[in-house]
Amino acid sequence: MSVDPATVKKIARLARIRVDEAELPALADEVNGILHFVEQLQAVDVAGVEPLASVVHRSLPLRDDVITDGGDAERVLANAPNRIDSFFTVPKVVE
Amino acid sequence: MASDLTKLGIAEARAGLAAREFSAVELTTAFIGAIEAARGLNAYITETPDLALEQAARSDARIAAGTAGPLEGLPIGVKDLFCTKGVLTTAASHILDGFTPTYESTVTANLWRDGAVLLGKLNMDEFAMGGSNENSYYGPVVNPWRRDGDSAALVPGGSSGGSAAAVAADLCVAATGTDTGGSIRQPASFTGTVGIKPTYGRCSRFGIVAFASSLEQAGPMTKSVRDAAILLGSMAGHDPHDSTSVPLPVPDYAAALTGDLRGRKIGIPKEYRIDGLSPEIAAWWERGTAWARDAGAEIVEISLPHAQYALPAYYIVAPAEASSNLARYDGVRFGLRVPGKDLTEMYENTRGEGFGKEVRRRILIGTYVLSAGYYDAYYTRAQKLRRLIAGDFERAFETVDAVLAPTAPSAAYAGGEKADPIAMYLGDVFTVTANLAGLPAMSVPAGLSSEGLPLGLQVIGRPFDEAGVLNVGYALERAAGFSAKPAAWWRG
């Protein structure tokens, strides 16, 4: 499998990363180089093998369903590039 | 006296402080001076001398009061991937411009609990993605080591390149690193230092800027195996804030260092004799095998039949997790914001400008392999290979207690030498298996290459047997007698 510049443009759009049109062909080459490198995995017979997502062999621990944190808007907002009162701001979404 | 104090590791500095040979303020002052004189190495992104001297003064008070912690007064450098409350934390990325955490990572909180002093935040590859420390928004780190008779700058390895360089150049008593595919062990090998990646779940990941959550662990980078044992003891432990951290007691790692390997079986994986393995690396591996045998170990050849697939599996799993983890950088809540005409354009502009080339490349790969129609062909298949790779080790550890291998396929090289991403990725060929299988693994300096550059040996162990890994490392360290230091050319 390989990708063309149009596909890279689509992936970049999905990833919300602006990429200049002029960069797309070179980026497609780089992505294809990596896809070609990982292609060797297709040679392995993985029939019946369970995918491994985590090496921690236990289920997630549960804790009491109580409030343990929160009510600290100042700390949450301390690094906001822009804010109004206790809110993050973004460009207008609804006309 | 000042320049001598910086040569000390944790064990010696602790002994000197306890014997009142010098104060924590004197020790810290010596390191602050060394850091100022070494700015050409670019090891630190942020220096915190005022904070360090305040902490050191408090340490001196606690030492005088007899309430010293295990790391009391020891000046440490912290990889800039750990959130430090009130201290700029960048992950070496433009996109985290100005980010000053309002909370502390658990690992660093453990260090301060035990009395350590923060000298500053260490340079690294952006978001821990890289093997040479050339992918930093704050510029590359220079390896303190140079080839014999050659003044060309070499890379310190990565991604914990600033940590490795700082330890090697005596710019801290020890440092923290993180290891997702080899990012502690490979730079340790490149700089003649010791580094251990503990078992997945041993150290809390809370407050560490996330890259590939199922693979990464924090670990110490130090001047000796004993120092690594002491520092890991403070860093490790269960944390309710990280559901993958394991509720197991932390042993006294330093107490386990006997150097006696009698009754232990050490496996030599035949698949690690890869095509094109440098004869020099192979020779040091042979020497290390002989040292382990001399220390009483029985040497056994083992097979890890799927090891050759570790690197390609890693370069699917890690980017997939990265593309998900790095979705949080949106220009809204922290760091860089680049305006746009609407919300989507603001996201795209912020992320387009904020991420460096390697990070962007990995997010794109990760997005692709997780996208509809390709998920099973790439991501699920890589996870199946991960199961097979972990299974190889489970079988091997039915027979052996530890595995001995080279750390990296080469010594340090010049910047720009591995411009092709795949060539760079191959530097992790011996280290990624331990991340995929979640196993503890360390690098110990073995000796110098024919060019006068350090080379490391790697020890991989059973889950949660850091003590066993450290003890094998200790036996190798004693046999190697590695005492070389880079000439301090950066002092000018």
Q: Please give the full DSSP string across B37-75, using - where no structure is assigned.
A: HTGGG--EEEE-HHHHHHHHHHHHHHHHHT---TTTT-E
Strands A83-84 and A87-88: antiparallel
The three-state secondary structure class of B28 is helix
Instruction: Indicate yes or no: pTM above 0.90.
Output: yes
Asked if residue A55 belongs to a domain, the reply is: no
Query: What is the CB neighbour count within 10 angstroms for residue A32?
Result: 15
What is the rounded CA–CA span in Å between residue B336 and residue B124? 19
What is the rounded CA–CA span in Å between residue A13 and residue B420? 25
Higher pLDDT, B8 or B419: B8
Q: B342 and A38: CB-CB below 8 Å?
A: no
Q: Does the beta carbon of B238 lie under 8 angstroms from any beta carbon of chain A?
A: no
Q: What is the mean pLDDT of chain B?
A: 97
Q: Could you tell me which residues come within 8 angstroms of residue B72 by beta carbon, excluding any fewer than 6 positions away?
A: B14, B17, B24, B59, B62, B63, B114, B115, B116
Name chain B contacts of A44, Cβ cutoff 8 Å: 306, 309, 385, 388
pLDDT at residue A70 greater than cutoff 60: yes
For residues A45-67, give the mean pLDDT.
Answer: 90
Name chain A contacts of B343, Cβ cutoff 8 Å: 90-91, 93
Catalytic residue flag (residue B204): no
What CATH number does residue A36 fall under?
Answer: 1.10.20
DSSP letter at B455 equals E
What is the rounded CA–CA span in Å between residue A72 and residue B417? 48
What is the rounded CA–CA span in Å between residue B55 and residue B118? 8
What is the rounded CA–CA span in Å between residue B328 and residue B331? 9
A61-65 long-range contacts, CB within 8 A, separation 24+ = A61/B243, A63/B240
- Indicate the pLDDT class of residue B276, thresholds 50, 70 and 90: confident
Domains in chain B and their CATH numbers?
1-491 (3.90.1300.10)
pLDDT at residue B492 greater than cutoff 90: no
B29: distance to nearest CA of chain A, Å? 32
- Report pLDDT digits (tens) over B10-43: 999 999 999 999 999 999 999 999 999 999 999 9
Instruction: Residue window 291-320, chain B: list those with CB within 8 Å of chain A.
Output: 306, 309, 311-313, 315-316
Q: With left for phi above 0 and alpha for psi between -120 and 50, is residue B464 left, alpha or beta?
A: left
Interface residue of A13, A37, A52, A79 to substitute, partner B, most B CBs within 10 Å: A52
Catalytic residue flag (residue B79): yes
Three-class SS of B256-321: HCCCCCCCCEEEEEHHHCCCCCCHHHHHHHHHHHHHHHHCCCEEEEECCCCHHHHHHHHHHHHHHH
Q: Does the beta carbon of B324 lie under 8 angstroms from any beta carbon of chain A?
A: no
pLDDT at residue B2 greater than cutoff 50: no
Q: ∠ at Cα B418 (B414, B424), nearest 5°? A: 120
Q: B380 and A91: CB-CB below 8 Å?
A: no
Instruction: Note down the domain range covering A25.
Output: 5-43
**CB of B271 closer than 8 Å to CB of B308:** yes
- Report pLDDT digits (tens) over B125-184: 999 999 999 999 999 999 999 999 999 999 999 999 999 999 999 999 999 999 999 999
- Report pLDDT digits (tens) over A4-41: 999 999 999 999 999 999 999 999 999 999 999 999 99
Q: B387 and A56: CB-CB below 8 Å?
A: no
Bridge partner list, A83: A88
Identity at B2, one-letter amino acid code: A
Asked if residue A25 belongs to a domain, the reply is: yes
User: What residue spans of B326-442 are helical by DSSP H?
Assistant: 343-354, 357-369, 381-399, 421-425, 432-437
Name chain A contacts of B330, Cβ cutoff 8 Å: 16
Asked if residue A52 belongs to a domain, the reply is: no
Chain A and chain B share a number of CB contacts under 8 A equal to: 157
Name chain B contacts of A41, Cβ cutoff 8 Å: 309, 312-313, 316, 381-382, 385
**CB of B224 closer than 8 Å to CB of B263:** no
A28: distance to nearest CA of chain B, Å? 10
Confidence at residue B138, expressed as pLDDT on a 0 to 100 scale: 98
Q: At what angle do helices B10-18 and B225-235 cross, to 10 degrees?
A: 80
Q: With left for phi above 0 and alpha for psi between -120 and 50, is residue B335 left, alpha or beta?
A: left
Confidence at residue B42, expressed as pLDDT on a 0 to 100 scale: 98
What is the rounded CA–CA span in Å between residue A12 and residue B358? 14
For residues B236-250, give the mean pLDDT.
Answer: 95
Asked if residue A19 belongs to a domain, the reply is: yes
**CB of B269 closer than 8 Å to CB of B310:** no
**CB of B91 closer than 8 Å to CB of B80:** yes
What is the rounded CA–CA span in Å between residue B371 and residue B324? 12
Q: Chain centroid to CA A9: how far?
A: 16
Asked if residue A68 belongs to a domain, the reply is: no
Q: B214 and A54: CB-CB below 8 Å?
A: yes
- Report pLDDT digits (tens) over B90-113: 999 999 999 999 999 999 999 999
- Report pLDDT digits (tens) over B300-353: 999 999 999 999 999 999 999 999 999 999 999 999 999 999 999 999 999 999
For A33, the enclosing helix (H) or strand (E) is helix A24-38
Asked if residue A36 belongs to a domain, the reply is: yes
Domain count, chain A: 1
Q: Is B420 exposed, middle or buried (0-12, 13-18, 19+ CB in 10 A)?
A: exposed
- Indicate the pLDDT class of residue A95, thresholds 50, 70 and 90: low
Interface residue of B246, B385, B425, B433 to substitute, partner A, most A CBs within 10 Å: B385
DSSP letter at A50 equals P
Name chain A contacts of B347, Cβ cutoff 8 Å: 16
Facing residue for A79 by CB, picked from B99, B371, B390: B99
pLDDT at residue B7 greater than cutoff 80: yes
- As a dihedral over the C-alpha atoms of residue A61, residue A66, residue A69, residue A71, rounded to 10 degrees, the angle is 150
Minimal Cα distance from B316: which residue of A? A38
Share of chain A above pLDDT 90, in %: 79
Q: Could you tell me which residues come within 8 angstroms of residue B215 by beta carbon, excluding any fewer than 6 positions away?
A: B180, B181, B200, B314, B317, B318, B321, B435, B436
pLDDT at residue B3 greater than cutoff 60: no
Interface residue of B97, B324, B367, B370 to substitute, partner A, most A CBs within 10 Å: B367
Asked if residue A31 belongs to a domain, the reply is: yes
Asked if residue A10 belongs to a domain, the reply is: yes
pLDDT at residue A92 greater than cutoff 90: no
Catalytic residue flag (residue B371): no
Confidence at residue B1, expressed as pLDDT on a 0 to 100 scale: 44
Higher pLDDT, B204 or A94: B204
Instruction: Residue window 329-368, chain B: list those with CB within 8 Å of chain A.
Output: 330-337, 339-349, 351-353, 355, 360-361, 363-365, 367-368
Report ipTM (2 d.p.): 0.96
**CB of A90 closer than 8 Å to CB of B332:** yes
